[in-house]
Each structure stands twice: as structure tokens, then as C-alpha cells.
Structure 1
Amino acid sequence: MKILNKAIIGCLLAAGLTMTSCDYLNVIPDETTTGADIAKDRQAALNYLYSCYGFLPAPNAGASSLDFLTGDEVATAFEHEQFAAFPKGNYSASNPVISYWNSLYQGIRQCYMFQDELNKGGNFKGLEDKDRNDYKAQVTFLIGYYHFLLSRCYGPIIVVHQTPDPMLLPENYQGQEPYDDCVNFICEKFDEAAKGLPATRTGAQANEFGLATSVAAKAMKAKMLLYAASPLFNGNSEFYSNFKDKNGNALMPLTYDAAKWQRAADAFKEAIAAAESAGYHLYDRGDCKLNKNGYPADPHVRALRYTITDYSAEDERAGANPEVIWADSRGEGIYGIQNKSEPYIYGGDGAWNGVAPTVAMLSRFYTKNGLPIDQDKTFDYADRWEPVEVDEAHEGEAYPGRKTPKFNLDREPRYYAWIAFQDGYYEILSAANNGAYKDDPNYNLTSDNTHGRLVCDFVIGGNCSRGVDANSKRNSDYSPTGYLNKKFVNPDLVKTKNGYYDYTNTPWPLIRLAELYLGYAECLVETGDLQTARIYLDKVRTRAGLPGVKEAWEEFGKDPSKATTKEGLRDIVRNERMNEFYLENQNFWDMRRWLLAETYFNVKAKGMNIDAEDINDFCSIKEVVFERKFQAPMNYLLPIPSDDINRNDHVVQTPGY
């Protein structure tokens, strides 16, 4: 994971050469810099390569990430931060708040400039041909990836085919190209890159972890085609019939094309074959790091908790995760998801109790039978918010003898792996001396030197509540919904009271094998191959400790045939994506490409009554105070910054802005 420091260093070294303007069309590098300066040796080439990666958006930067905490999965205590403009709908072309338009085009320019230097052949003394070819393939991948990110935000984009001409006159600036042409260009770049990249970068190449691979290129091509086949982009004449360039040409496809689903399915099939032949498989280590923290004890829950945080040398490919195909290896920092999610520490710091799953997200997680809670005939949906005493049969889910809403019992393993709730558990270690939770009776109920978990209490006065009493409620560092996130928080993290910002830096998954399986299943549903779709859907369900989808619906479903119809299986696959990729930068985009964002993002989040002083009052649903607004069709795509529209007469604004 040395890419982190090298990327930063490379960016700083290259900053004076390339970041001279926020306008991607201003491509003139520093006039005092020569090719000899930036291509003098192998290390210069490596620094230049890492600088090309330096424009990647940080996916887990809570305050400034476009798609992390901005869907309907969570409400947070940090709505004063930059990201919160997006769920509130408070952004515009004149004030885009978070915009990738300029930075990604700068990244594209950087890649082409490096490519030009590599193609000169004689520069970068000491650079072997195999490294030169690898670097060329990596920047080709990045050119494709940066264009993919742009197309996901804006639909039709300016496609940069070569290093922009610094002498280009404004009247010759480019405008957007039709969306389908953008998609084809991006796929061509991923195809070209895949031919020159290794399948993996692990083991002896662990210092290169996070760099592009051929498997990542094939996976990203499939993902691009999935987006192109989806309702937002595939024949959406209702939204985009008037979305035209300055010459009157349509920028979005206005006729539905079913063949796009087949093209995407073929790409997923190829990517899956490449990934599996390279040794990737779903993470299933239910015994991971048992010597560090024995909780969670259930092997399915444990494997899920470590699925995207275990990069230990215990794996057969040292320093890797067998499921994560491509990851961002930068650390999240002290204000990342871990510290923001952990139960509050009174008299300490670095645990801010503030990332709170919403009722909408919590309701998507299945019952223990693998069905939505309102579709499982064995689940008491009507009385789901009734407080019930936890019995010994549910000891692995919540603490016996305490009360919790019935909603929290008999749920699927992902619920217990990633969600903390009233009188449920938050697995975390507290040091024997100066431990953050060592003096909490609710920690000591079940914890010892090798097992650590807090029994959570969100009722006022409890250890995860808003305050020690009704007169001391915090306006920050609290859970707005009466639930807490556990995903990405390592159970073996030793949290100290005065050690402050305790967290573990682990790579952030950009794409993992489960996404290929579910993307393939989604495409197969649309092409009518329901049987094969269920096979790939069940791969993910089995790892999650759930029965097969057809068997689950036939035995426990209110509609036993749902998994056998195209419409029914489409709903099931979408729900599976929401569950499996909770808080993995998918919800923000998936709801848009499915044309569901106006339904789910335009309502206030809901949670428990966090101001309650007893369990009975706590078990009532309240709206979270924060505004939620989504305007269709405007908010389905993002605004191009007004300054760039004014600078380039050939660019048209996305509809509605």
C-alpha cells in the first residue's frame, strides 16, 4: 500500500507542471519545465505515474465525497459538512459544492502528457520496456476510468482523444459527444488497457497494490455497460428529448435498446472469468483474527464484518483481499467512517457516534429467511416496532433480558455484521488500561481480554445516546436515528480513552467480485435468463448465510413465485445490491440509474425517538430533522460548473440547471 505516499509525493512533484488552471482546456505546462526534467530517470517516471493516480476522487472522504453519505442509507450528525448539500438538494451550476468536472479533466490531461513522454522512447533513462509498457497500460486505464466517472456524473461529456492542443482557439473547443459514443470510447480504453496489464498486483508486488490490473479493466468495462443499459441512460426520452448539442444533435439515446443489456452481460461474463482464473473469490473467512477479538462469534457475521477490511498476510495471496479486485489504498484519516461511527466516548475523543442507518436502509436488510421483512410470512411486520424482551434463543443478536424493537430480531447476518441497535452489540476492543469502554458496565457484561463488545443503549442516559440526561443532549456527535453503523470498523481495533483517534487504515473497495456477480445477475434478468441470474445471485446470498432465492421465496414468501418472474427477480436483485453494498458508494448512483431517486431521496429520513427516556417511548418512529430534496429530472445528472459553460461555447448544460 505504498502507493498512498508515492501518489501524494508524485502529485506534489507534478503540481507545478500541470495544475496551472481549473480549466481542463488550459493545457500549457510550466514553460520552464523541459522533457529532460520530468523524464530523467526511472524514479521520475514512477513519480509521474503516481501523479496520474492523484486525481482519483477519495471515495471515503466523508466531508467531501460526492457519493458516500449522500444517498438514503444513513443520516449523520455531520450535516454541517460539505457533502450534506447533496441529500438536501442544495447545489447548482453556479455553486456545484462538490464537482469532479475540473479535477477529472486535469487527470486526463496528466495521463496524456505522461503517455506522450513514454512514447518518445528515449526518455526515462533506466526504464525497462516491460515497465514502460505497463505504465502506458495504466494511464490508458486511468483515461478510461476518469471518463467513466465523468459520464456517470454528467451523461454525455467532452471526450479527450489525445493531449489537448495548447494553441487551440476558443472557437475550436470541443463540446460533448453523444452518450453512446462516450460509452464506446471508454470501453475501448478499458479493452486496450487490459491487453497490457497484469491480472493481479499482490504478493511480491504488494507495494503496487491499488494500481490498475487487467481484471479491474474488464470489471470497469462491464460496469460502464451496465450503466449504459440502465433506465436513466437507455432510451429515456421523457427526460432527455431536448438534451441536444449546439448543432441540434441528440446527446442522449432516445430509443430503448435491449441489446445493451446483452452487451453488458457478455462483459460481466468475461470479467468474472478473468477474476476467478486470477484467484479472486468471495471472502468467506469466518475465523479471521479470532486470536484478536472473539466477537462476532457467528462465522457468517464475522466473515461479513471482515469482507472488506481484511488485508492480512493470512490470505493465500499475501497482503491482498481475495474479493477486492481494485481498491483505493489511501487512508481515511481521523475524520473517516471509523471514528465517526464508533460509540461515543465520554471524556475522550475520536469516537463520534454519528453515522446512523435510516429506517429505509434498515428495512431493506432481509429476515433470517432471506426475504424483505414485509414479504416474509413468518415475520411479524405489523408489530415490528413493539419492544420485546430478548430471550436466550436470540443471544447472538441482542443481549438477553433487555428490550429491543422486534424489528431487530430474526434478521439476516449482514444486519448483525454492519448495524448496531438498541441492546444489540458493537464489537470493539477496549484496552485493559485506559480503555475507552472498560468502565462501562454494558461493555463488561460480555467482554474480557480477548473478547470485546459493547451492549448498546440509545435511550437517553445510555452509552450510545444523545446525552447523559434530558438536560444535556448533544447537538453533535449523536445518532440521529437511534442506530449506528459498524461496517468498515474492525472488531479487533483497540479503542483507548485518551489515545484519541484510534482507527485502522485499510484499502477502500472500488470494485469487488460480489459486484461482478450481482451486476451479471441484473443483466441476465433483463435478457430473460432468470435461471443463471439466480445462480449468481445465490453466490452472494450463500456467503451472507442465506438460503437460495428461489427456495426462500417458495417456502417463506408471501408471493412464492416472485423469484421466478422477470419483474420479481429484478426487484430482488436491486434489493440485494442495496444490502450487499450498503455504504460502498453505490446507493447514490444505483437509485439514479434505476430512476428511483425521486421516490427514495425526496423524503425525510426516519429513525427511533432518540429523545426518549424509556424503551417504550424510544420504540416509536420519528422523522429526522434534516431536509431531503430531490428534483426530477434535474438531479438525476449533476451540473457542469457555470464557469466552464461560460468558458466554452460548445458545451451545453445538463437539463434543469
Structure 2
Amino acid sequence: MKKLITYLTVIVIFSTVFSCEDYLEIVPDERPTEEDAFRNPNAALGYLYSCYSYIPKQRSGTSSIDLMTADEIVTAFEHETFAKFPRGEYTASSPVISYWDDLYKGIRQCYIFINNVDAVADLDNSTKTLYKAEANFLIGYYHFLLLRMYGPVVIADQQFDINMSVADYPLRSTYDASIDFIVEKLDEASQDLPLQPVSQSDYGRATSVIAKSVKARMLLYAASPLFNGGGQDMASLYGNFLDDEGNQLISTTYNKEKWKRAADACKEAIDIAGAAGIELYENSTYNSDLPSDPIEKDLRYVFVDKNSSEIIWGETRKETIYDFQFKSTPTVSGFAWNGVGPTLTILESFYTKNGLPISKDPEYNYGNRYNIVDTDLGATMGLNLEREPRFNAWISYHNSYYEVIRGAEKQVLTQYRRNDNYGIQGRSNNYTPTGYLNKKGVAPELVQNQYSVSVNYPWPVIRLGELYLNYAEALIEYGQDFSTAKDYIDKVRTRAGIPTIDEAWNPIGGANDQSTLRDIVRQERTIELYLENHRFWDLRRWQIADQYLNDNLQGMNIQGETDEEFFRVTEVQFPRSFSQRNFLMPIPQSEINKNELLIQNPGY
């Protein structure tokens, strides 16, 4: 590591509230010394906010490692940094997007804060205790982000001397030891964190619900096949992943009890979230005419509504016109970039209106799904019809409406053939590579014809729907209490406007065994958490990423000028590559060069 982590020039951050929005925005305010940073309560609070500034900006496609880099979508922005990940173009010497150095800087800054805050005059003890709990939460959270990317981490359990010799640098701990350290940090922090934000201006700061939810997600990952001996059915990938003393850095032995530990943590997080008043976003009273269907409206606003009852932790930094919403929306006179195209993989993952996979529903015309069908809005493909509300709420297809503001218009009819209004035409950029556009995470009242984002909202780092699915998955994999697992999946399904598992599956043989329920909960995650930074990690932790990320993706023939030409399944000509080493990210070679005892991840 960089002199265990290079000395950080103190950048103090303060909170602001923009456009009367009730969430935290972080902007820099330079202060030259640590002494200045702790000279009074306001300066100390600013320093604490700066500790939050190392949280990755998840909604930014350019710099986010996990937003648009799985198989959910293909974009027209292959020239941007993130696109090197689906192409497999990252190495230890050129890691492209690496959080290693920044996160360790953030951890060090948190320890500096903890070690200095007691000296702040005129700051009462209860506030000091709260601030330390927030810093401890961030130490745990940053270690988790490192663990998720790199596997076993170098545990930073104190503020190390920046002048320490290389021989004294700590080395990578085992994966299980890393987990235990993070659990301890999160549990310690949660004892002194508030259940809910103290005031609206504190939105985005740590709470006990957030700490317990991070812990639950991490333990779910730890129980998953990649980190748990390959699971029940696969071999571990890490038989030769040893440190210099021969310790196995990731266990190669499957331990079923890790699923029980994860299930218990998920239930604890769900219970404390309930005590905090967090609930699924349903029966929306949001002041909007569209979507007109009430279930689709709930789904469209589930986190776009900045007052959503479901958000456990929202990341509050402002969006720009080059971020998620403008990338997704249909172009108009040089505004918006028309380039986030859902793939055939995700399109076929959504259920039918009966809540079954399209290949299993006897009422769905699966064999003819690619046929052209006439509708009131014009010709479209059978695949786009008779689908569940989440498909209609989150996917824009040929001859359907996209809810967005253009002057007096509140929706636009989207057509994607070559010469249509949102087709590729002659452009080399700002087109959908698949003949579809994403609508999820785009506010229906977003004003398009201006160079600013008219609707900002907190990006969902964690929401209750995820916790329910986390809990269900852990119960299913533990092999007990399938009934409760189905109950929690059904909470998500019911909100989505589809029948419960038993209602949907009983007519075709039922869903009562572990293998079937595993398929169901994984498909539910694929649908419900679509484009929320999850699938990049899910495919890896399930140890199946090589089955999905190693082939070019498919959509419609966007060069087709007629319906017959356009509605033809076509491979998108952007290469995709995944190898076994890509299950983990590489530690930057520059860090290995500084400390040759630091073990690199396999394959790099």
C-alpha cells in the first residue's frame, strides 16, 4: 500500500442543501491542517463529512464499476471508462477503476477523526460519541467495499504511522477474518447510531438500520459460492490462493452455517428497519399523472420519489446531465443521450403477467415471442406484450410510450428502427444498441430540453426490497423454512402486481424444493434490482459470471429500416470477455511493487 496509505492532505467537506432538497450534498472546502480541522464543532463536523466523500458515486456510469457493466444493458458509450470492464480490459498494471487507494485513504481519515475529535472544544460528549460511531461505520463499510472487490483485505484496525517501515506493513488477512473484523465494526457503530436521521439535513449519514443492512448484505455475500467453497454444487476457485505462510486466504470448504448467519443478520436488519418505519413503497400519492397505471407508478417512483418509504440508505450527491437519467432518455434536439439499451437477457428475465418465467407460462406464446404483433400504437414484437408491470414500468420498446417532459408533452412515442425518431440513423453515438431504452431510475417529470437535471433524488444504496430478497435467499440456501422465504419474496411480487409464488407455480407443479426456489429468488433479484448496482456482484458471488459475461449480448437489428428487418434478434457488435480471474478485481500493481509481501489476486 502507499506508505500504508499515503498521508492525506486534509480536505474538509461541509454539507449543503440544494434546491430545498432534503439530502446531503458534499462539496470541498479546503483547510490546510488537521489542527484547523478540529478547532471548533463546525470544523469537526466538516471533517466528518469529508470522511463520507470516499463513498463511490454509484449512479455515475463513467466511474461506477458496477452500474452498467453486467449483462443487463449495452450502451452507446463504449468509449467511456466503465466499458472496459465488460470487455475484460483491466489488469493489475491498469486496473481502470480501482477503489483500493481511495478507500484506504478514507479509512485512514476516519481514524484521524476518531483520534482527534475528543479534543474539540465546545462539542458535547453525546455528539462526540455519535460522530465516532459514524466514523466507525465508515471504517467497516469501506472495508466491506474492499472485500467485495478484492476478496481478503488488509485490515486497517488503527491509524498507522505513515513513516513505518515496509517490513511492518500489515498483510492480507483471510476472508473470514476480514468478515469478522467488519462485523465487529458495524455492530460497534450501530450501538451509538440513531435509528433514523436526526433531521432532514442529516439524510445520507449513517444510522443503525444502515449499519445492520450493510452487515446483512456482506454476510450474504460471504455465504455465497464464490467465498464459501463453491457452494453445494461447485468447486472452489481458490485452492491455490495462499499467503506466504500457507494460510488459505479464501476457504475451499463449504460451510452451510454461513447461510444461517446471513439469514439471522438479514432478519435483524429487517426488524430494525420496521422499527424505523421503513416499508415497501406502495399506493403512491406522488403528484404525477404518469404512469397512469397505479402499480406501474409505484414501480417507477420506488426510489425516484425522494421521500420514498423504502430507502434505507440513499447516496445524495447531485446528478449531472452526463449521468444516469440523461443517458437513458430519448434524445431531442441535442438534449439527452438515448444510449442505455436493455439486452435480450434482461428482457426475457422479466415475468409474464401471470408471474411466471416466459418459458414456463402455458398461457404465454413463448415459441412465437419474436413475431410482429399489431397494437393500438403500431407494430411491436410479441416479447413486449403480456408481460408483468415491472417490464412496462422500466422498459421502453418500439411503439410504446416513454414518460418524460418536453414542453407541454408528458410522454413521447418511442420508435427505434434505423430512421425512426430514436433510431441510430447515421449517428456513431447517442443511440440504443439494442432497440430498447431503459426507463428505471428516470423521473417521469424530468425536463429534457435543458442542460440541467430538473429532478434529483438519492440513489438507492440499500432499500427494503433488497433486504427481503437477501433474507429469502439465505433461508433457501440454508435449506429450511421455505415458507418464510416465499413470504418475503411474495412481498416484493405483490408490490410488483404479480401473483404469489404458490399462486403462479402451483398450476405447473409447484415451487417447494430448494433448486426451484433458488432459481426463483435469483430471477426475482435480476428483475427487482435491475440496474441498481447488484448484478455485477451477484453473478460473481454465485460463481456463474462466466456463463453470462463472456458472450456478446443481443437485441434487435437497429440497422433495420422496416418492421421485418428491425424485429430480428441480433448480436450487438461490442465484444464481451470474462475469465476466471475476473471474479475478483486486481490489486493495483503499484501497491504490490511497494510491498512485495502483499499477495496479488489469482490470475493477475
Normalized against structure 2, the TM-score is what? 0.94
CA distance in 1, matches of 2:295, 2:278: 19
Task: Give the equivalent residue in structure 1 for 2:170.
Answer: 174
Please say if residues 286 and 298 of structure 1, whose CA atoms lie closer than 8 Å, have aligned partners that are also in contact: no
- Residue matched to 1:65: 64
**Corresponding residue to 1:13 among 30, 33, 46:** 30
Secondary structure of 2:367's counterpart equals: coil
In 2, are the aligned partners of 1:339 and 1:503 still within 8 Å (CA)? no
Q: 1:428 aligns with which of 382, 396, 404?
A: 404
Q: Are 1:506 and 2:504 an aligned pair?
A: no
Q: Supply the AA of the counterpart residue of 1:369.
A: N
Q: 1:393 is matched with which residue?
A: none
Given candidates 466, 476, 479, the residue that maps to 2:424 is: 466
Matches within 5 A, 1:353-372: 353-372=338-357
Which residue in 2 is equivalent to 1:2?
A: 16
2: CA distance between counterparts of 1:637 and 1:34? 36
Alignment-derived partner of residue 575 in structure 1: 523
Are the equivalent residues in 2 in contact too, given 1:419–1:486 (CA < 8 A)? yes
2:328/2:339 contact within 8 Å kept: yes
SS at match of 1:297: coil
Task: State the match for 2:247 in structure 1.
Answer: 249
Partners of 1:351 and 1:501 within 8 A in 2: no
Q: Within 2, Cα distance between the matches of 1:502 and 1:626?
A: 29
Q: Does 1:229 align with 2:223?
A: yes
Q: Which residue of the partner structure matches residue 483 of structure 1? A: 436
Q: Following TM superposition, by how much is the alpha carbon of 1:371 offset from its aligned partner in structure 2, in angstroms?
A: 1.1
Unmatched 5+ stretches in structure 1: 17-32, 312-319, 391-399, 433-446, 468-472
Q: Which residue number corresponds to residue 382 of structure 2?
A: 406
Task: Find out whether 1:259 has 2:257 as its counterpart.
Answer: yes
Alignment match, 1:28: none
User: Which residue pairs with 2:301 in the alignment?
Assistant: 306
Secondary structure (helix, strand or coil) at the match of 1:57 reads coil
Please tell me whether the aligned partners of residues 364 and 579 of structure 1 are also in contact (alpha carbons under 8 angstroms): yes
- 1:219, 1:271 within 8 Å by CA — same for their partners in 2? yes
Percent sequence identity is 47
Counterpart CA distance in 2 for 1:12 and 1:656 is 42
Point out where structure 2 has 5 or more consecutive residues left out of the alignment: 1-14
Change in CA separation of 1:613 and 1:337 when aligned onto 2, cut-off 3 Å: same
CA–CA distance in structure 2, aligned partners of residues 6 and 61 of structure 1: 17
Which string of whole-angstrom CA distances, capped at 9 and with x for unpartnered residues, describes residues 153-185 of structure 1?
011010001111233211111110000000000
Residue 176 of structure 1 aligns to a residue whose secondary structure is coil
Secondary structure in 2 matching 1:454: strand
The one-letter code of the counterpart of 2:443 is N
Structure 1 residue 333 displacement after superposition:
1.0
SS of corresponding position for 1:232: helix
- Code of the residue aligned with 2:300 in structure 1: it is R
- The residue aligned with 1:653 is 600
Rounded Cα–Cα distance in structure 2 between residues aligned with 1:250 and 1:157: 13
User: Which residue is 2:12 aligned to?
Assistant: none
Contact 2:345 2:554 in 1 (8 A): yes
What SS does the corresponding residue of 2:348 show, helix, strand or coil?
A: helix
Q: Deviations over 1:197-236 (max 9, x none)?
A: 001116xx01010000000001111111001000000014
Q: TM-score, normalised by structure 1?
A: 0.87
Paired position in structure 2 for 1:610 = 558
SS at match of 2:225: coil
Question: What pairs up with 1:361-400 in 2 under 5 angstroms?
Answer: 361-390=346-375, 400=376
Deviations 1:37-81, CA, capped at 9 Å, x for gaps: 221101111110001001111101111110010000000000100
**Other-structure match for 1:21:** none
**3-state SS of 1:494 partner:** coil
Structure 1 position 193 matched with structure 2 position 189: yes
Offset at residue 34 of structure 1 (A)? 5.3
Please say if residues 287 and 302 of structure 1, whose CA atoms lie closer than 8 Å, have aligned partners that are also in contact.
no
- For 2:334, the equivalent position in structure 1 comes to 349
Deviation at residue 283 of structure 1 after TM alignment: 0.3
1:543 pairs with 2:524: no
Letter in 1 for 2:115: D
User: Offset at 1:366?
Assistant: 0.6
Instruction: Indicate the larger mover: 139-148 or 485-494.
Output: 485-494
Report runs of 4+ in structure 1 exceeding 4 Å deviation: 3-7
Amino acid at match of 1:62: G
Matched position secondary structure for 2:110: helix
**1:465, 1:479 within 8 Å by CA — same for their partners in 2?**
yes
| Secondary structure of 1:426 counterpart | strand
**What's the CA shift for 1:520?**
0.1
Q: Where does residue 45 of structure 2 map in the other structure?
A: 46
Shift of 1:510: 0.4
Structure 2 residue aligned with 1:592, among 514, 533, 540?
A: 540
Q: Relative to structure 1, is the Cα distance of residues 222 and 614 closer, same or farther in structure 2, using a 3 angstrom cutoff?
A: same
SS in 1 for 2:341: strand
Cα displacement (A) at 1:428: 1.3
Alpha-carbon distance between aligned partners in 2 of 1:198 and 1:34, rounded to the nearest angstrom: 27
Is the partner of 2:462 in helix, strand or coil? strand
CA contact (8 A) 1:87 1:601 kept: yes
Q: Does 1:272 align with 2:270?
A: yes
Amino acid of the structure 2 residue aligned with 1:492: E
Cα 1:7–1:283 change in 2 (3 A) is: closer
* Aligned length in residues: 581
Letter in 1 for 2:202: E
Q: Which amino acid aligns with 1:466?
A: I
Q: Whole-Å Cα distance in 1 between the matches of residues 377 and 112 of structure 2?
A: 66
Map 1:47-196 to 2 at 5 A. 47-118=46-117, 121=118, 123-196=119-192
Q: Which one-letter code corresponds to 2:587 in the other structure?
A: I
Letter in 2 for 1:506: Y
Asked if the contact 2:315/2:461 (under 8 Å) is kept, the reply is: yes
Aligned mates of 2:419, 2:179 — CA distance in 1: 54
- Are the counterparts in 2 of residues 232 and 594 from structure 1 also a CA contact under 8 Å? yes
Is the contact between residue 366 and residue 411 of structure 1 (CA under 8 Å) also seen in structure 2? yes
